[in-house]
Amino acid sequence: MTDASLVVTNLRVEFSGFVAVSGVSFDAHPGEVRFLIGPNGAGKTTCIDAITGLVRATGSARLGEKELLGQQVHRIVRLGVGRTFQTASVFEELTVLQNLDIAAGRHRTPASLLRARRGTDASIEQALEETGLTGELATPAGILSHGQKQWLEIAMLLVQDAKVLLLDEPVAGMSHDERAATGDLVQRIAAKRIVLVVEHDMDFMRRFATRVTVLHQGKVLSQGTVAEVQADPQVQEVYLGTADAIAVGTPNRTEV
């Protein structure tokens, strides 16, 4: 549970002269499902990389009173900021439970390690339940479905008690049912945490976002509710001629 908000102000990232993120500002609060969308190359992943300390950035990214920029990666993790990657990064040869044990490592006392060998501890059980993976406890992560691997990554952040979850294209490559399940999961976990979903799938965004920031060429193009962003002519223009054009251009289209 967190009361703090994530406030990003004037974020800027430069890669040897190329400005990938330029003056980006947005905030995310517990209880909302915050989306960051934009075409490929817009700078979405770079924003997450900057917030988590993987690339150098200027500006500010504050979690409550704490400035994240300039801190080392492990410090940012310890402050409660977790992220997933576009390609799931679980330990494929280990079981679901073993993956969660590793994620829970920093909280483990010898006594709870013993308990974990006999059964599972409460935080792991809860994460398994929340992500629908209870039945897969003994399954090697490598043979999970694509969707289940993403959920395991999220479960690993939950056992770490992450206050901020930055999810990079969590539904890419998922089936229709997996997308719906992921949307429900994201809504559940966002109730008590800060959740920022990076996505270029407009349909998923329209179903689950509370507020949206649209990035284009490293800059904020538009920001607001789903309805506001969809009605923004600038957003429609950027997505025009792409596969998403119809979804953006017809805000009243019936949901599937």
Ligand X SMILES: Nc1ncnc2c1ncn2[C@@H]1O[C@H](COP(=O)(O)OP(=O)(O)O)[C@@H](O)[C@H]1O
- Residues near ligand X (CB under 6 A): 15, 18, 20, 38, 40-46
- Select 38 or 147, whichever has its Cβ closest to ligand X: 38
CB of 55 to ligand X, least distance (A): 7
**Contact predicate 49/55, CB 8 Å:** yes
Number of residues that bind Mg ion (CB under 5 A): 1
- Select 142 or 173, whichever has its Cβ closest to Mg ion: 173
Asked if 222 interacts with Mg ion (CB under 5 A), we say no
- Select 30 or 204, whichever has its Cβ closest to ligand X: 204
User: Of these partners, ligand X, Mg ion, none, which one is at the site of residue 40 (CB under 5 to 8 Å by kind)?
Assistant: ligand X
CB of 199 to Mg ion, least distance (A): 10
- Select 45 or 148, whichever has its Cβ closest to Mg ion: 45
CB of 45 to Mg ion, least distance (A): 3
Tell which one of 38, 43, 45, 205 touches Mg ion (CB under 5 A). Answer: 45
